[in-house]
Structure 1
Amino acid sequence: MSTTLSLLLALQAAAGTTTTDQAAAPLADAAPAAEQQGSGDVVVTARRREERVQEVPIAISVIGGAEIERTGAFNVNRLQQQQPSLQFYSSNPRNSAINIRGLGAPFGLTNDGIEQGVGFYVDQVYIGRIGASTFDFVDVAQVEVLRGPQGTLYGKNTTAGALNITTRPPSFTPEARVELSGGNYDFVQAKASASGPLSDNLAVRLSTSATTRDGTIYNVASDEHLHRQRNLGVRGQLLWKASDAIDLTLSGDFNVQSPNCCVQYYARVGRTQRPLNRQYDALAAAFGYSPPSKNPFDRVTDLDASINSRQEIGGASLVANWDLGPATLTSVSAWRYWDWQPQNDRDFIGLPITTVSQNPSQQKQVSQELRLASNGANRLDYTVGAFFFHQTIDTQGSQVQGSAASRYLLNPGNVAVGASGCATATANACNPAVLNGLTSTNTISFDNTSFAVFGKVNYELFEGFHIQPGLRVNYDKKSGSYVSVVTTGSGSTTLNADQAATLAPQSYAPKFSDWNVSGDITLSYDFSSDIHGYATYAKSFKSGGINLSGLPLNAAGTGVDLTTQTVKPEKVDNYEIGLKTQFFDRRVTLNLAGFWTEVRDYQATVNNGQLTVIRGYLANAAKVRSRGFEFDSSFRPSRRLNFYVNGAYTDSTYEKFTNAPCPPELSGGTVTTGTPGGAGAPGGLSPVACDISGQRLPGISKWSLSYGGEYNLPVGGAGGEVYLGYDGNYRSRFSSNPSPSAYTWINGYSLSNVRAGYRKDDFNVFGWVRNVFDQNYFELLSTQSGSTGLIVGQPGDPRTYGLTISKSF
């Protein structure tokens, strides 16, 4: 859903250090902000005049920079703990996804040829790949979360919402700020920023952030701790006030990370349809193997491949605003890049099965946007604009099988399995040389061009009643190339049947292009100065995609199935109603929203069990539905106390998906088009596809809550105060597999974070504890390739604690 203010508000709002739909920030952060927060007001100037966010007819949350710093939410992963409708999943930076209300990107490993449904923006610049969003926040003024489809105002079309980051702008008043944090696991984080004038009309701002922390998971094989943090970010901005009507801001940033992550390892074992002697327990016994611990929360593993997630993120942008009087013309020009250099252990255990599985990737993008927005002098406001985006991605993938791969992946037939394994047998499965060194070298390229024109009108039909229609015309063109060359351990390209079934040579060049028209209409009414209601219908599209992670084999097994090269566009119908209210001199805020979203041809990641498509591929589910309601409440009874409770109920299901991948308990057996019988029956049958209509989408909790508050007391006079704060969140259980499986449900959990400190004027010192009760929980669960029944997990962080000191000048 969009309104005349939606994305403009989210990217240009400059108000306060509060959460619009959450609790107020500490009342002592700054005197002007304290007065606003005391009254429950957040004022923005999105249309060159002051407006209250409460009057904007859209579900939007604004989180101020002070709140981000106070709660330790210095990246997107931690931000989701404060936003019940926001979901962030990441098995490593490249394989990351942001969803809002359960929609946005398919759950699983990333496919370069698909677009994200949640837009990610930094200072009005669209970021074309979610992996490039995993940096630490540097000198952030605020983060805005817009829920529902966007696209009729400006920028890239997004069907599920937008996440927008606004950094602090250059100032003509000299200022500086430093912050230093330290904690357990040798955590150290330093932030610094400085801004001031270079002349009467030229100002500069420089910012930096550095984070280091030891890992929380010990690898006995390499004698090192995994999931460490090594992050550095710098940002510079130059503001030129060319005249009273014209200003230009030139920005540049650079981020480098080498976090020695991300790992998944032994979590549990479940039965599949594979013969019992080819399931995990029997295979591990044949090799005499056992993981160092079968309790994943011992945080010990024995991965035998190198682990790293090094990436560089950077770019430059020029934003120009020209106030023409009746309207403002805005131009946003940007260039960005992302260089991803990973190392993974894709078999997840300490056996040499898949010794290399990685996809180093380099993305470059350029974008240009022009917007003309009225300055609100009349009852009729408007925004019109055009957006151009071009993106290229080059990926150099590789997968190498090890000496244990033959026994682990191939069928030994009737060969007996004992303590000695297959040492005396003649089947390929019993000959390590068959798959040892088998290598797939993949060259992948992607070219994506998008162009759009859009417009939005806000007409006050009569006092307090607004009608706001919007329209977008969009063109997308995608082309790619996927070439996989497979060689044996001896370097030959001649493969036997078992080798070709494990890593199949592929070469194809998918293409997609299409026009689409989308639009929305919002009706809103101001019942009073503190009660506002709205209703919206939006019809949106997500561009079609191309498969760039390898294709499944055709039915005959003689080549790839070229019918799976592309996926159709998603077609979205979204309905929403909302009510925004404030009471008691705006000290109590209660906002409600109900939504119903239907998506036809939903783009899902699937895997049909073939080893040749270990990373999965894209397919269309006929229909998906997400519906639910959200509430946001904050209470400010006094300057000494504020607290909040936010929640979301989200019911997201596959309404119709008859050709879905089967869950692991039905995989690995003899393929049948009939009824498979019982699930998890060794030696049983496995259907070609499963009907999962009516089942839940992965990664979505039905209930999600965030809650907390802060209490302070004056000490020492002259504005000094001590304070105690608490922030908590809860998620009910959710599925961690594209098709719901009995083995991959993640149980519900709650996290609690506390802080206590002293602040006065521009000085602040506080101690903090995150995950106070040391809750054990998984962020993700996955299945090991080959239908062995092994379930691997990625645990969330344990309890951490530390101290933060900050000073402004």
Structure 2
Amino acid sequence: MTTKHRLRPLTALITTLSATLASSAFSQEAAAPAEPAAEAQALGAVTVRSRNRIEKLQDVPLSISVIQGAELDRLGAVGIDDITKRAANVSWNLGNQRTSSISIRGIGKIGQTEAQDPSVGIIVDGVSYAYNALTSSFDFVDIDTIEVTRGPQGTLLGKNASVGNIIFTTKRPSFTPTADFTLGFRQRDGLFATAAIGGPIVDGLVAWRGTFSANRGAGDIKDPYNRDISYTNTDRISGRVQFLVTPSTDFKARFAFDLQPRAGETTNGRSFPVISPPTTYSNGAPITSLTNEQRLGRRWFKDNTGYSLSDYQNTLTTDSVRGLVTGSSGATADLNWQVAGHTLTSITAYKRYHFNAVNDDPTPFDVYRNAGGFWNDYWQATQEVRLTSAPGGFVDYQTGLYFIKVNNQVDYRRWWGNDAGAWFATNAQYGRLDADGAGRDLLRNSLANVKASYNSPTGVQDIRNKSTAIFAQANWHFSDALTLTTGARFTHEDRRNAGTSRITSDGSAPELDPSIVNGVLLGGFDSYLNTGAAKWVKDGLVVPAGTAGAVQVAAGTANAPTVALTTDTTDAARSASALAAADKAAAKYFGVASWNALSAAQKRQLADAQAIRRANVGVLFPTTTAEPYKATQPAWVLSPSYKFSRDLTGYASLQHGEKAGIAQFVNGVSTPVKPEKTDSFELGFKSALLNKTLILNADVFLTRIKDYQQSVRIVDNYTTTQTNDGTRYYTSATGNAPKVEVKGLEVDGVYGGIRDLTVRFSAAYNDAKYKSFPNAAQRVEDGYPGSSPYTDVSGQPLAGAAKYTGNVGVDYRQAVWGDKEINYTANVAFSSSYYSDVNLSAYSVVPKSTTVDAGIGFGTRNKSFNVSLIVKNLFNDDTVRNISSTSYTPAIPRSVGVQFMARL
């Protein structure tokens, strides 16, 4: 049996792995023209590390796609978007550097919060990343291989993942001196450069490899307000250094350090308004919500003759936008001992990440100085200890312990400007306040310079997660042909979250603060005209219940009759403070001595200004601890495989995995999310055909998920309780869809039967649906007044899941002039349409798309030099990336560049 071979010493594996992979068709490092047969025979020799050992791809009973670093290098593919275009049934959701996400089989593309685990695991050199943002703003350079494993994972690989892993393996240090360089120039002032240098420090004892990359360039859309701002620019510099220490044949250690200094890329705000948004709901009722176009028609904004509605519709013109700042650093110690026929591995790692967003509204007006942006400081510490037996004999196995600790400090910040009041006022409020000078002062000061940490689920979060796991997996070789793989994992999750939402600056008019919001004292006052239910009122002002001499009146009536009276004096001081604030506001805006001297119209203007402020600062609450999530979660795999011949293996796989529940707030109320449980069945084969010139692997799968985590419609307990008017209010938050089912077919292959030509291909049919989801939020077109807050989408497509995906990669080398060649390379990625909105709105359908990247180059056959013309998005596919009833995110247009590569 070919899998029964003696495990080589790990020191030899590291130094020989590059040569092994170089002989494979996936690596596309083909033999010289005189030896075409060598290339064909190499197709079955592709090796993978997806099960923590070096194995032949064709012997692993999993759905796996393998992408070689050499293929990425030829087309300058370094970002996660480029990488996911090279494997079927894998996609990347374009958001910003924090909100982007990866999906496998359509699962995990829509929706992600700070306290939530990603559905797709990312493993880089043996280290699991527990936060999506760690992949979205980085360049993956000096890559050896990338492996995509589908289905629940966790019985072997670091942190458990509910739908699959993407495993990055960088090129390792060796005792053979190497020096590889890349320098590329592209449109829009683009510059890309990499250098990877390594070799022995102390021959036979210490080797090193240093990798540096720089990627700079402007985006395709300029900001007319500041033409040095462009969407989406690139600004990334990173470095990685690795050391290999081999004091004996039984021990080796790899130490790695990486750094990406903080830099800003303008990603948020890359969206345009839909020119003709819908004006009616599906039942014909008019849509009455205030639009940006209507706001821009107000005198306040029309007075600016240098800006028009046409500018809003056709340009990205913002005054306060800044690049989203990201940066990271990390360290890894990877130790391996050969002990009594086993390999004992210890991987200790630390990773830190920073994110800071300063967003803006889509106008040059001073509406926001920060339209709501996350400030994150994230770090994780991981430890894995693993024992691996040598292959061969009746059984080979792996077992180990895994621990991860996560701390994520989150602050969602808002900062309003002088034009915010005029922007956010209702039509009635704006009409009353824009009527005279005092009203316009109030309109400006209602939000001018106010700062808050507020968002849903919450403004400030202190997220602390711990996961501890024990795992084991064994391959039982019942015969040379029949192998049974079994594995199990138990993970104990402890997830905690403390949060608050608060005003951090009262801005230009602290006297316009309310007196109290949700138990948070703000020191202001409340006009009776600014209430939505029966309140305690004294001298026309709402003050806290229990104030001496206060009377209860019906809200919104200027001369309401007395309903009740109290003589409690405990809040007398608070009442006096509220009255003082009211008198100050009366004097500041109307020049009168006290609140009582104001006319009813003036009181109404004060009430309007306060209402604007109250509506925008949102839900406030003191530091509170959410209900924690604590549980022990299982994962397991049962997978028989049978070698029908040397070139044909069939397998079946039954997998179970779970994603942890979430400790979170919704408007200050602890609202936990249940864990997500996934069961997946897979039946497939792996074959080498046509004298091993064609590798063809395929599988059918069925995945069922219980309590799928995504944005859902839930009761807003805070608003319902605070309003207390007999109405139940609703909001959207991360929750659980009861049942999701995904089934389909996947094909992966490579053909190398024609000399100097390699064709890699993959395709997938993916039928992803909500099996049961009776309480989904209404589509935007069906949210007319009086409609149900919920709709049943059972049987409807899963948001973010395309039914058909595929890609083809072609590499052809034509020998010319002795040892020179012309090389042609291309990658074609296809996706059918899908919903980009969890509510499945008809306005959110992203159409089908086909993107082609291509290059033509000239260089030496031994790769010592090559120069290429590279075109990304060759045919300028303009399919939108996201779309809704009011806005859309355009595609990244065609880009042309020249790339030089050299190897010394």
Please give the TM-score of this superposition, normalised by the length of structure 1. Answer: 0.87
- The residue correspondences of 1:430-469 to structure 2 (distance < 5 A) are 431-441=443-453, 442-469=459-486
Q: Which residue of 1 aligns with 2:338?
A: 323
Give the CA RMSD over aligned residues.
3.4
Alignment of 1:340-489 (within 5 A): 340-345=355-360, 347-356=361-370, 357-406=372-421, 408-412=423-427, 423=435, 431-441=443-453, 442-486=459-503, 488-489=506-507
Conservation of the 8 A alpha-carbon contact between 2:744 and 2:767:
yes
Contact (CA 8 Å) 1:272, 1:666: kept in 2 or not? no
Match of 1:684 in 2: none
Structure-2 change in CA distance of 1:152 and 1:616 (3 Å): same
- 1:332 corresponding residue in structure 2: 347
8 Å CA contact retained: 2:799, 2:840: yes
Match of 2:278 in 1: 270
Give, in whole Å, the separation in 1 of the partners of 2:279 and 2:463: 39
Flag the 1:24–1:294 CA change in 2: closer, same or farther, 3 A: farther
Identity %: 26
Q: Alpha-carbon deviation of 1:103?
A: 1.3
Instruction: Look up the equivalent residue of 1:243 and give its one-letter code.
Output: S
Quick one: distance in 1 between partners of 2:39 and 2:441? 71
Name the stretch that deviates more: 165-174 or 420-429: 420-429
Residue-by-residue CA offset, 1:504-523 (whole Å, 9 max, x unaligned): 10343112111122211001
- Cα deviation for residue 804 of structure 1 reads 1.0
How far the C-alpha of 1:538 sits from its partner, in A, is: 1.0
Check if 1:160 corresponds to 2:163. Answer: yes
Cα displacement (A) at 1:126: 1.0
Note if contact 1:146-1:163 (Cα within 8 Å) is conserved in structure 2.
Answer: yes
CA apart distance, 1:302: 1.0
> What's the offset of the Cα at 1:602?
0.8
Of 282, 285, 288, the residue aligned with 2:297 is 285
Which of 792, 798, 817 matches 1:697?
798
**Within the alignment, does 1:304 sit opposite 2:319 as a pair?**
yes
Given candidates 800, 803, 808, the residue that maps to 2:895 is 800
CA distance in 1, matches of 2:407, 2:165: 22
Quick one: which of 82, 85, 91 aligns to 1:81? 85
- Cα distance in 1 between the residues matched to 2:792 and 2:319: 38
**1:266, 1:349 within 8 Å by CA — same for their partners in 2?**
no
**Change over 3 Å in CA distance of 1:91–1:33 after alignment to 2:** farther
Give, in whole Å, the separation in 2 of the partners of 1:320 and 1:185.
44
**Contact 2:833–2:847 (Cα < 8 Å) also in 1:** yes
Evaluate the alpha carbon distance shift between residue 739 and residue 366 of structure 1 in structure 2; reply closer, same or farther with a 3 A threshold: same
Q: What is residue 227 of structure 2 aligned with on the other side?
A: 223
Residue aligning to 2:107? 103
Structure 2: which amino acid aligns with 1:617?
A
Partner of residue 770, structure 1? 872
How far the C-alpha of 1:570 sits from its partner, in A, is 0.5
- 8 A Cα contact 2:629 2:661, kept in partner: yes
State how 1:140-151 maps to structure 2 within 5 Å: 140-151=143-154
In structure 2, C-alpha distance between the alignment counterparts of 1:38 and 1:474, rounded to whole Å: 43
Looking at structure 2, the residues matched to 790 and 644 of structure 1 have their Cα atoms a distance apart, in angstroms, of 40
Pick from 574, 578, 599: which aligns with 2:705? Answer: 599
C-alpha deviation, 1:633, in angstroms: 2.3
SS of equivalent to 1:462: coil
Q: Deviations over 1:565-588 (max 9, x none)?
A: x10100111111111111112111
Closer, same or farther: CA 15–530 of 1 in aligned 2, 3 Å: farther
- CA distance in 2: counterparts of 1:607 and 1:4, whole angstroms: 54
Distance 1:138 1:568 in 2: 38
Query: For each residue in 1:236-272, what CA deviation from the matched residue of structure 2 results, as whole angstroms up to 9, or x when unmatched?
Result: 0111102101100010000134223333322412346
Partner letter of residue 84 of structure 2?
Q
One-letter amino acid matched to 1:363:
Y
Return the alpha-carbon distance in structure 2 between the equivalents of residues 152 and 246 of structure 1: 25
Structure with more of its chain in helix, by fraction: 2
- Give the stretch that moved more between structures: 171-180 or 267-276: 267-276
- Aligned residue runs from structure 1 range 563-578, under 5 A: 564=671, 566-578=672-684
Give the superposition deviation at 1:129: 1.0
Inter-CA distance 97–545: structure 2 relative to 1 (3 Å threshold) = same
Is contact 2:33-2:755 (8 Å) kept? no
Q: Which residue type is aligned with residue 210 of structure 1? A: A
CA separation in 2, counterparts of 1:581 and 1:241? 38
Alignment correspondent of 1:786: none
Alignment correspondent of 1:65: 69
The residue that corresponds to 2:43 in the other structure is 40
SS in 1 for 2:791: coil
Partner of 2:121: 119
Q: Indicate whether 1:192 and 2:192 are aligned.
A: no
Specify the code of the residue in structure 2 equivalent to 1:239.
Answer: L
Deviation at 1:688, TM superposition (A): 2.5
Counterpart of 2:589 in structure 1 is none
Larger radius of gyration: 2
The alpha-carbon deviation at position 693 of structure 1 amounts to 2.1
Counterpart CA distance in 2 for 1:162 and 1:258 is: 28
Distance in structure 2 (CA, Å) of the matches to 1:254 and 1:795: 32
Distance (Å, rounded) in 2 between the aligned partners of 1:334 and 1:31: 46
Match runs of 1:521-536 below 5 Å: 521-536=638-653
| Unmatched tracts of structure 1, length 5 or more | 553-559, 677-686, 783-788
* Alpha-carbon contact 1:291-1:349 (below 8 Å) kept: no
Unpaired runs of 5+ residues, structure 2, are: 454-458, 514-521, 532-610, 720-728
Cα offsets for 1:256-303 (capped at 9, x unmatched) = 34223333322412346675362344333334475555776xxx3112
Q: 1:20 to 1:175 in 2, by over 3 A?
A: closer
Whether the 8 Å CA contact 1:660–1:690 is kept in 2: the answer is: yes
Q: Which residue of 1 aligns with 2:519?
A: none
Q: Contact between 1:280 and 1:790, CA under 8 Å: does it hold in 2? A: no
Work out whether residues 25 and 67 of structure 1, in 8 Å CA contact, stay in contact via their aligned partners in 2. Answer: yes
Residue 843 of structure 2, aligned match among 743, 746, 754: 743
Change (3 A) 1:541 1:28: same
Structure 1 position 449, deviation (Å)? 0.3
Change in Cα spacing, 1:223 to 1:272, as seen in structure 2 (3 Å) is: farther
Preserved contact between residue 656 and residue 677 of structure 2 (Cα < 8 Å): yes
Is the alpha carbon distance of 1:596 and 1:320 closer, same or farther for their aligned partners in structure 2, counting shifts above 3 Å?
A: same
Residues 606 and 277 (structure 1 numbering): CA distance in 2 closer, same or farther, change over 3 Å?
closer
Cα distance, 1:43 vs. partner?
4.1
Per the TM alignment, residue 322 of structure 1 is displaced from its structure 2 partner at its CA by 0.9
So what's the TM-score if we normalise by structure 2?
A: 0.78
Count of aligned positions: 760
